[in-house]
Amino acid sequence: MEEYIVSALKYRPLTFDSVVGQRTLTATLKNAVRSGKLAHAYLFCGPRGVGKTTCARIFAKTVNCLSPDANGDPCGECESCKAFAQGRSMSIHELDAASNNSVDDIRELCRQVQIPPQVGRYKVFIIDEVHMLSASAFNAFLKTLEEPPSYVIFILATTEKHKILPTILSRCQVYDFARMTLQGTVDHLKYISQKEGITAEDEALHLIAQKADGGMRDALSIYDQMVSCCGNNLTLEAVSDALGVLSADSYFEMVDHFINKEVQPCLVLLNNIISEGYEGGNFMNGLAAHLRNLLVARDASTLPLLDTSENLRARYQEQAARCNVRMLYRALRLCNDCDNQYRTSRNKRLSLEITLIECAQIDPDAPAGGLRPTKLAPFFTQPVAAARKQTPAAAAPQEQNKTPHVVAATPSQPAPAARVRLSTLGPRLRMATAPKPDTPSVQTTETPELQVSAVALKLTDKDLLRTWTEFANMLQLEDKAMSMRMLQMKPDTTGPESFSVTVSNEQVKTYLLQISSRLIRYLRRSLLMPNLRMDISVTPYETVQQSLSKKEIFQNYMSQNNSLQTLVDEFKLIVE
């Protein structure tokens, strides 16, 4: 069986030119080697997996090559190069300071420093994660670093430059390794795919590169994992499945719902996403990233900030063009707020849902500074869809963004017209209960919302139960008992704008009455039924499955079992 070699090893660069993503730095190093102007100590800083150790090895190999080519690259033929290739070179010493950070380790290293190289001109000591050296080890090392033999070169590598003592920094030539760009990583993965005969979609490689977050070694190891679990055909779907990353499609779909101000589909989509096993917090995070991408895709000057594949870039631009920039900004803020509060939220799902509901109702024309939607668009219920056909403004929601259809703050207008925008309920109530055709300030052509509410709405059991449950859930935090009671009740529609609810006794009725004004207000607003009426009835005692007290339960048992009665009598027990 063919031996499998991990890509990070198999495609480890052997020359400076083949190092990915560090072009300026490798060019400088190469020049230094070619011109023979070598320092005694180098410090390579940068994130993990970007090529620090690799460059150090290439450096060691290059300075020791007995007959470098005209370009300054190692020949690969001489004794030194062969020794490097076979991993038996005595001219290179690697110490991982993360696990060998004691004084003794450093003393051993200093002893090695005293022995001149047998092949080649230099002995190169690579100390990885040098910031992990203990203080005393540092001190023991300092003197050697100050005055090493002429044939010694130290290459110190670290991911945490700020932890390096100034005394060390000042003795080293410092090279800062850049984080890999997404495109650089993708290009390298593409190159490997070609060599290995693996077909890979661009988007799939982008996803891997994103997941690796700027580290080539991580990217390669994720790539290997993907090949071993998805086979020789890396599709976006397979890779996002395997990585547990939600595909971009879901985010595009969600934002489409925002654009169209469709609340219900947002919640359905969220439900699908969660039931497929994706974590809600990650989703919110991804949604925020998506909105950010849309924002930068809107403008040519920020377009380079969009680090993604060509295909996706076009899709971002297309969707961004349909978005109002203020809407995007506000949605981004809402998502960011949700993300911040998510970890401490007691009802995580609810906070996701609220955010989505708000995002789907953002009014870009609302006064600046007010990030929360000031006007609740009608959500849920089918009559809205029916009304949408009648009102051109609602049929083309993106048009709404451009044309302010209700002038909110024209001073000359009487108060009711101004409140159409600012209040969520009042004006609609007023219009539907007492339509005044002689009110000149409210012109139907200008106020599609009023037309919507004028359409006859009919209460359905389904909508009623849903809003009822919503309210009960909202109540949970402040009055858990009432919330539970409400969830057990079953409201029934009794007319186009009325319903009744049956409770088991007068006490519960009193409780329900106490919250009824809030409840009705909420239901009216959610269902867009300003005249909605609730009747509360108490069912006759015998038809209700009454909850029994402990005494009643015991008495029940006694009536069924005589020996219990005997027990009570014998021991003179008091049942209470």
Q: Which residues bind Zn ion (CB under 5 A)?
A: 65, 74-75, 78, 81
Minimum gap (Å) between residue 16 Cβ and Zn ion: 14
Structure tokens at 93: 């010493």
Q: Which is nearer to Zn ion, 70 or 415 (CB)?
A: 70
Q: Which is nearer to Zn ion, 81 or 208 (CB)?
A: 81
Alpha-helical segments (H) within 298-324 = 310-322
Q: Which is nearer to Zn ion, 78 or 165 (CB)?
A: 78
CA distance 365 to 415: 19
CA distance 223 to 6: 10
Minimum gap (Å) between residue 10 Cβ and Zn ion: 21
Minimum gap (Å) between residue 127 Cβ and Zn ion: 25
The radius of gyration of the chain from alpha carbons, rounded to an integer in Å, stands at: 36
Could you give the strand order of the β-sheet that contains 152-158, starting from the edge strand earlier in sequence?
Answer: 92-96, 123-128, 152-158, 41-45, 173-176
Minimum gap (Å) between residue 171 Cβ and Zn ion: 29
CA distance 182 to 534: 59
Long-range contacts of 290-298 (CB under 8 A, 24+ apart): 290/248, 290/251, 290/252, 290/254, 290/255, 291/255, 291/328, 291/331, 291/332, 291/335, 292/332, 294/255, 294/319, 294/320, 294/323, 294/328, 295/320, 295/325, 295/328, 295/329, 295/332, 298/323, 298/325, 298/328
Find out whether 157 and 41 touch, Cβ atoms under 8 Å. no
Minimum gap (Å) between residue 14 Cβ and Zn ion: 11
Alpha-helical segments (H) within 72-164 = 79-85, 103-113, 135-146
Q: Which of 421, 313, 299 is nearest to 367 (CA)?
A: 421
Find out whether 376 and 424 touch, Cβ atoms under 8 Å. yes
Q: Which is nearer to Zn ion, 86 or 545 (CB)?
A: 86
Minimum gap (Å) between residue 181 Cβ and Zn ion: 32
Minimum gap (Å) between residue 86 Cβ and Zn ion: 13
Minimum gap (Å) between residue 82 Cβ and Zn ion: 8
Q: Which is nearer to Zn ion, 74 or 286 (CB)?
A: 74
Q: Which is nearer to Zn ion, 118 or 382 (CB)?
A: 118
Q: Which is nearer to Zn ion, 83 or 323 (CB)?
A: 83
Q: Which is nearer to Zn ion, 31 or 67 (CB)?
A: 67
Handedness of CA 551, 553, 559, 565 (dihedral sign): negative
